[in-house]
Amino acid sequence: MSIIKKTKTFFKKKLFYLIIISLMLFFTIFVKSFNFYLQLVVVFIFLYFIVLSILISKRYSEVSRSEEFPKNPPKVAVVTYAYNNWKPIKHTIDQLKKLEYPIPYTIYVITDGTCTFLENDKRIKPIILDKKYFIDNRKAVIMNQGLKQIKEQLIFGVDGDTIPEKDALIKMIPSLKNDVGMVVGVMGVTNKKKFIEKLQTIEYNFSFGLPRMVLTAMGSLDIGTGAMCLLDKKIFDSVGGYDEENITEDKEIAYKFIKKGYKIHFVVDAKAKTEVPSTWKSYFIQRLRWARGGFDTNNKYLSFLFNRDLGVFGFYLPYSLGVMILSMMLVFRTLYHLISDLFFTIYYNLYNIILYGINLSDFSFNFSSFNISSLIIILLVSLSLSIYFMSLSFGYTDFKLDISYFFPILFFLFVYGFIIIFMYIIGIAYELIGVKQRW
């Protein structure tokens, strides 16, 4: 790539982030009050997808159900990779051996050669790569190299910490036809003891339910869930495999497939469980990676916006990107006002203490910039619709909440969204500044 082209790409990339940050700052500093009319516009935008999703889920409820298995089963390569994950990979491999499939299949384990327990297992075919491919532990690099050595028509990729159900593969295969280039399933959670794990259990069971089904129905599913996916090797090769520069390669590959005219399909009957971060620190690291990788992908495929050739996706993408940016603007503004109100309240109360002497009962804190009454009515309506949509989604994935989820679900409803959006804001800031990406 020439220097001019590189420079152009660099500024184009930064411009995208700069515009988003400018929008957040403009909304926070120059829009004096987030008044009633603005609130209604925001509610309109947010509720549209919820209502549309509810309608689609009622009208096209069968779209993500598994279909009839083909008479001539295609050859499938079951692929996982082992590197620094010896403990969970053994469990994953045991489960991969138990997969139901009418014809024999090979389990490929991509490794750097240090995984000795694979050597004596005849069902497994290790693909040993040079250690240099494992340096940054980038899945895209490892998978690209490993998949080069596979000749089967279809790839069933499973992460080393993911446990698919026995019938996952057999339920995904029938959907890989016509214009579908990749099939994904439901992702549950294996570790769900801690509060943070329960939160992610709720999130996974919600997002891997109706939202994905709705997106599938609209031909707009734009993520290839790396933890478990079935893809066509020919298409995979034709798009040049995973983007090794992107830290969310499973999202980026989905965009490559879409660009080629293929769709991603979600099958709710194909289930797997995966391990989620069990500490807030590891959670934030993962989410920051997802946020940065997601924006990186959006930035790379801006030409998809309003692209009629992509069908509904060409219009869903600007909507979802717009909602994300709007959410960031709202959260940034709210945080700014919360912090500044708190600062000024403490400051002026301290000032009064200095002026008049200390008497704790004299002081009361209030946050003046909230317009509570109208917001509460709007929030209640939005919350009711969201809860209804969530309950539909839980029903769709057969997820049942018990009493131990009481506080996590409250946290999920009222706080979790802010955390996710906050991670987007940090992600954007990191991208603008140029903080090094890590897988």
Partner 1 sequence: MVKYRPTHNIFLTALLIVLIIVIILFFGIISYDNYKRTNLEEDIKILNQQLILDDLYNNYLEHSENYDLSKKCNILAKQLNSQYGINRKLLDRLRNINKDAVVSTDNYIKFMYVLTNIKLWMHYNNFNDECNNDTKILLYFYTEEKETGSKQIKADAQNDLFENRLDKFTKSCDNSVVFALPYLPEIIVLNQLIIDYNVSRAPAIVVDDNVIYNINDFNNIICNK
Q: Which residues bind partner 1 (CB under 8 A)?
A: 32-33, 35-36, 40, 43-44, 47-48, 51-52, 55-56, 59-60, 62-63, 178-180, 216-219, 263, 265, 311-312, 340-341, 344-345, 348-349, 351-352, 356-357, 361-364, 366, 368-369, 371-374, 377-378, 381
Please state the closest distance from residue 325 (CB atom) to partner 1, in A. Answer: 20
398 φψ region: left (φ > 0), alpha (ψ -120 to 50), beta (else): left
Pairing of strands 263-274, 180-189: parallel
Residue with Cβ nearer partner 1 (65 or 193) = 65
Residue with Cβ nearer partner 1 (59 or 97) = 59
Query: What residues are paired with 228 via a beta bridge?
Result: 158
Please state the closest distance from residue 36 (CB atom) to partner 1, in A. Answer: 4
Q: Which amino acid is at 354?
A: I
Residue with Cβ nearer partner 1 (94 or 362) = 362
Please state the closest distance from residue 25 (CB atom) to partner 1, in A. Answer: 16
Please state the closest distance from residue 223 (CB atom) to partner 1, in A. Answer: 17
Residue with Cβ nearer partner 1 (62 or 121) = 62
Residue with Cβ nearer partner 1 (41 or 410) = 41
Please state the closest distance from residue 28 (CB atom) to partner 1, in A. Answer: 12
Please state the closest distance from residue 123 (CB atom) to partner 1, in A. Answer: 34
Residue 386 — φ and ψ, nearest 5°? -65, -40
Which DSSP string corresponds to 352-381?
Answer: HHHHH---GGG-----TT--HHHHHHHHHH
Sheet holding 162-164, edge to edge: 124-128, 106-111, 76-82, 154-158, 228-232, 180-189, 263-274, 162-164
Residue with Cβ nearer partner 1 (198 or 263) = 263
- Smallest CA-to-CA distance from 157 within 19, 285, 249, 22 is with 249
CA atoms within a 13 Å half-sphere pointing along the CA-CB vector of 342 = 6
Which DSSP string corresponds to 178-232?
Answer: TTEEEEEEEEEES---SHHHHHHHHHHHHHTTHHHHHHHHTT------TTEEEEE
